[in-house]
Amino acid sequence: KAGVTQTPRYLIKTRGQQVTLSCSPISGHRSVSWYQQTPGQGLQFLFEYFSETQRNKGNFPGRFSGRQFSNSRSEMNVSTLELGDSALYLCASSQPGLINEQFFGPGTRLTVL
């Protein structure tokens, strides 16, 4: 079974631009969660989607948004990029019914200049 995939792996943007990151979960997994990883703040939960609905949201500004499609693939969007948005963005998928063990993708490294 293929693991969680994230595209692109690396991205460079400038302040003020917007960016869209993609995450494809493991086949059969319907929940996708997003995390931001920075040296200063560590790993922080962004949001979680299940069956196309956002079920949980972390403490991030409204510039961070996401969605999930009917095939469980998820996208995360950041508008009006700031330098502080430079981070590794990880997504994780899980299968309902188990203990919600989350399987992580390799991440997208976003650099904002």
Partner 1 sequence: AQTVTQSQPEMSVQEAETVTLSCTYDTSESDYYLFWYKQPPSRQMILVIRQEAYKQQNATENRFSVNFQKAAKSFSLKISDSQLGDAAMYFCAYMALGDDKIIFGKGTRLHILP
- Using CB under 8 A, list all residues that contact partner 1: 31, 33, 35, 42-45, 48, 50, 55-56, 58, 88, 90, 92, 94, 99-104, 106-107, 109
For residue 83 the two structure tokens come to: 């330098």
For 83, phi and psi rounded to 5 degrees? -55, -35
Select 41 or 80, whichever has its Cβ closest to partner 1.
41
Cis peptide before 96 (omega within 30 of 0): no
Name 1's Cβ contacts closer than 8 Å, sequence gap at least 6: 26, 27
Could you tell me the smallest distance in angstroms from the CB atom of residue 59 to partner 1? 10
CA distance 18 to 20: 7
Pick 22 or 50: Cβ nearer partner 1: 50
Minimum distance, C-beta of residue 2 to partner 1, in the bound complex (Å): 14
Nearer to partner 1, 70 or 101 (CB): 101
Q: Least distance in Å: CB of 80 to partner 1?
A: 25
Which residues, in sequence order, are bridge partners of residue 100?
none
